[in-house]
């Protein structure tokens, strides 16, 4: 039997309130070495609170948080962690190389400044002040600061917000390379295709509780719906009346049909319209699954 990799960060029965509202309600979470865990959920679901507890930025009201088996407020476990928060607040007046030097000095075995610059795609910007960088460049500086300590565990809170497609994909490559090298990553994102592209495991939070957890394929298969697209002369209102069909909508010349029983619907479509063309059947993506799961939880 394969031994599962050691746990690098864990919440057990962790709860946290802000005044009367519960941000996190008895959450159990374990992040293992070398895995990329995507933490998904609508705004206010508790993703940032979960990360804040793991990092010791907040103390849990109940339950506990552990980083490398130790309390997260200890210095030693945090020396093995890199962080990219949603709101960075980096002082505008400081240069990229100054920020790197300052942050690298906190870690026992940091990456070289050159490597950080290369991995984050900041070549030629070392002497630029942070405030004079574009939004995407600033985000890349934050990523460079997160990886500069050569971390074994990386928290990335919405890392690619504000990046263009090219920059996002090069960041994905770097993240994948780090995971391949044994680094664990906890990622929160609004882009479900990002979780789909990167994550080994997905945890969905809603209202402070874990409502789904598993591989991307497992999460997707929780949703039985499939989507059928085709060009047909049939009346959408008629198709909508079939018992297996959940919804029909017209998208240009195509019809878009959502159903739990794709085979039955396709058979009926071909039977009623022999001239039907451009038939496509697609399983629900993570986005549809996510919408379904969080709707159920609400």
Partner 1 sequence: MDALLAVPAGRVSRVRCQALEARSEFLRLLRAPSFAVPTLLFPPMFYLLFAIVLSHGHGGFQPGVYLLATYGVFGVMSPGLFGFGITVATDRENGWLTFKRALPMPPGAYLASKLMMAMLFATLIFTLLAVLATTLGGVRLPARAWLLLLATDIAGVLPFCAIGLFIGSALRAQSAMAVGNLIYLPMSFLSGLWIPLEGLPPVLRTIAPVWPAWHLGRIALADVGQAPGEAVWPHVAALLAVTLLFLALARRRLVRG
Binding site residues, partner 1, CB under 8 A? 6, 8, 33, 55-57, 68-70, 75-76, 78-81, 83, 85-91, 93-94, 98-99, 101-103, 105-109, 129, 149
Rounded to 5°, the CA angle 162-120-96 comes to: 90
Burial 35-64 (b: 16+ CB within 10 A, else e): bbbbbbbbeebbbbbbbbbbbbebebeebe
Cα–Cα separations (whole angstroms), residue 107 to 118, 198, 218: 19, 27, 38
Indicate the residue among 1 and 3 with the shorter CB distance to partner 1: 3
Phi and psi torsions of 30, nearest 5°: -135, 130
Indicate the residue among 80 and 201 with the shorter CB distance to partner 1: 80
Given a contact cutoff of 8 angstroms between Cβ atoms, the answer to whether 270 and 262 are in contact is no
Indicate the residue among 89 and 124 with the shorter CB distance to partner 1: 89
**Distance (Å, whole) CA 22 – CA 134:** 36
Phi and psi torsions of 193, nearest 5°: -65, -25
Residues in the chain: 298
Indicate the residue among 148 and 205 with the shorter CB distance to partner 1: 148
Indicate the residue among 33 and 227 with the shorter CB distance to partner 1: 33
**Distance (Å, whole) CA 44 – CA 143:** 24
The distance of closest approach from Cβ of residue 7 to partner 1 in the complex, given in angstroms and rounded to an integer, is 9
The distance of closest approach from Cβ of residue 55 to partner 1 in the complex, given in angstroms and rounded to an integer, is 5
Indicate the residue among 43 and 87 with the shorter CB distance to partner 1: 87
| Backbone conformation region of residue 267, classed left if phi is above 0, alpha if psi is from -120 to 50, else beta | alpha
Phi and psi torsions of 183, nearest 5°: -80, 135
The distance of closest approach from Cβ of residue 196 to partner 1 in the complex, given in angstroms and rounded to an integer, is 27
């Amino acid at each position: 039997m394969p031994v599962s990799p050691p746990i690098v960060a864990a919440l057990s029965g962790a709860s946290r309130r802000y005044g009367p509202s519960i941000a996190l309600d008895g959450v159990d979470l374990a992040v293992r070495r070398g895995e990329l865990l995507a933490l998904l959920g609508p705004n206010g679901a508790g993703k940032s609170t979960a990360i804040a507890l793991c990092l010791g930025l907040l103390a849990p009201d109940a339950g506990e948080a552990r980083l490398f088996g130790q309390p997260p407020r200890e210095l030693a476990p945090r020396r093995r962690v890199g962080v990219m928060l949603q709101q960075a607040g980096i002082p505008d007046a400081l240069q990229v190389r100054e920020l790197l030097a300052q942050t690298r000095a906190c870690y026992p075995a940091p990456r070289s400044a050159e490597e950080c610059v290369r991995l984050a795609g900041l070549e030629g910007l070392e002497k630029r002040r942070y405030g004079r960088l574009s939004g995407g460049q600033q985000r890349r500086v934050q990523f460079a600061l997160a990886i500069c300590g050569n971390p074994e565990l990386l928290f990335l809170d919405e890392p690619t917000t504000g990046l263009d497609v090219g920059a996002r994909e090069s960041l994905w490559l770097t993240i994948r390379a780090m995971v391949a090298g044994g680094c664990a990553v906890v990622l929160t994102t609004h882009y479900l295709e990002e979780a789909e592209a990167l994550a080994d495991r997905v945890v969905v939070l809603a209202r402070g509780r874990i409502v789904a957890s598993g591989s991307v394929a497992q999460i997707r298969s929780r949703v039985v719906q499939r989507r059928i697209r085709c060009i047909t002369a049939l009346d959408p209102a008629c198709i909508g009346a079939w018992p297996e069909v959940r919804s029909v909508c017209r998208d240009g010349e195509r019809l878009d049909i959502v159903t739990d029983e794709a085979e039955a619907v396709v058979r009926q479509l071909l039977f009623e319209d022999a001239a039907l063309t451009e038939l496509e059947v697609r399983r629900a993506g993570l986005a549809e699954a996510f919408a379904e799961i969080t709707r159920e939880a609400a």
